[in-house]
Amino acid sequence: MALGEESAEACFERAVAMLDGNDIDFAAFESRKLFNIIATPDGADVEISSAGVRVLLARTRGSFSYFAVLGPPLLSALRALAMPGSAMVPFVAQPEAMRPLGLFATPGPRKFWLTRSNTAIHVASRCGHPGDVFDNDPRPLLPWTPPPIVHANFDVPIACPHCGAHLRRARLAEGALVCSPCGRSHRAPAEQLAIARLETSPRPE
């Protein structure tokens, strides 16, 4: 079945059935796809429900949504990693066991916590280092931190290509200069940034 053809409700029913003992398909491409998404060094929290799959990663402002059909294969992979035990009991998987899933190289083991309710299945994934002793509960994900404010200062004023204002100072945001008078931005040429004096300041609380 192609991605998106099965309803989110039906996918959640399959996800629940997967935890209840349906056949495991450890090598499914979809297993590898979502597993790689959540297998970041900083960990991830996943919610699988009739509304679809939501993934919260560390240092991000909000969760990401994915096709609901990716949920059951992920649970299939986790059940395979947990064997001969139960995936519903927190378990640690070693890198060599995760390698068939195409997991990005990690320096050590990874612990998984699965919980379920009537409306959702939650998966927490945290990465450790060789010899680590994991906590009983998943540690909180690192919070999103707003990037600092960066201004570019110019000894010789530069002209805004939109309003023509001559700028000695402009905010730099993702490689673009923001004009204070008109508020519009333009991509800063590399030679322009090379002669600028960059000034960094924290964002106000």
- If asked whether residues 170 and 115 sit together in one domain, one would say no
Question: pLDDT digit string (tens) for 37-70?
Answer: 787 778 999 999 999 999 999 988 889 998 888 8
> Is the residue at 47 inside a domain?
yes
CATH number assigned to the domain comprising residue 100:
3.30.450
**Contact indicator for 60, 78 with CB cutoff of 8 Å:** no
Question: pLDDT digit string (tens) for 86-112?
Answer: 888 999 998 888 877 765 556 689 999
> Is the residue at 112 inside a domain?
yes
Query: Is the pLDDT reported for residue 11 higher than 80?
Result: yes
Of 127, 161, 193, which marks where a domain is finished? 127
pLDDT above 70 covers a percentage of the chain that reads 87
- What is the total count of domains within the chain? 2
pLDDT for the residue numbered 153: 96
> Is the residue at 141 inside a domain?
no
- If asked whether residues 36 and 78 sit together in one domain, one would say yes
- If asked whether residues 21 and 66 sit together in one domain, one would say yes
> Is the residue at 133 inside a domain?
no
pLDDT for the residue numbered 29: 54
Across all residues in the chain, what is the average pLDDT? Answer: 85
Query: Is the pLDDT reported for residue 136 higher than 90?
Result: yes
> Is the residue at 64 inside a domain?
yes
Structure tokens at 92: 């640690």
Task: Return the residue matching tokens 């991605």.
Answer: 3
pTM over cut 0.75: no
Query: Is the pLDDT reported for residue 130 higher than 70?
Result: yes
For residue 108, the 8-state DSSP code is S
Task: Return the residue matching tokens 């964002």.
Answer: 203
- If asked whether residues 154 and 77 sit together in one domain, one would say no
**Range of the structural domain that residue 186 is part of:** 149-201
- If asked whether residues 61 and 103 sit together in one domain, one would say yes
- If asked whether residues 67 and 103 sit together in one domain, one would say yes
Q: Between 146 and 156, name the one with better pLDDT.
A: 156
25: Cβ contacts below 8 Å, ≥ 6 apart: 31, 73, 76
Query: Is the pLDDT reported for residue 184 higher than 80?
Result: yes
